[in-house]
Amino acid sequence: MTSIATARPGAATLPLTALLTRLLVWHDTRRTAKALAALTDRELDDIGLDRSEIGRIARRSARR
């Protein structure tokens, strides 16, 4: 008897899920960076940040 291998259910959605996850992380990163960039230098200093750190902080917070 010959058996035919079939793709497991949902296998085609894995790349789509990965893409959606990356888009959501990108969106969160952008939103965080935009919110931090809207703060004044004094407000950033109050929370212990420098304007040059915004990108790094936004990327780190989106990965959590």
- Note the pLDDT tens digit of each residue in 16-57: 999 999 999 999 999 999 999 999 999 999 999 999 999 999
**Predicted TM-score of the model (pTM):** 0.72
Distance separating alpha carbons of residues 10 and 23, to the nearest angstrom: 20
Radius of gyration of the chain (CA): 20
Cβ of 25: how many Cβ atoms within 10 Å? 13
Q: Is 48 left (phi over 0), alpha (psi -120 to 50) or beta?
A: left
Q: What is the pLDDT of residue 8?
A: 65
Q: Say if CB 26 and CB 63 are below 8 A apart.
A: no
Domain boundaries, the chain: 13-62
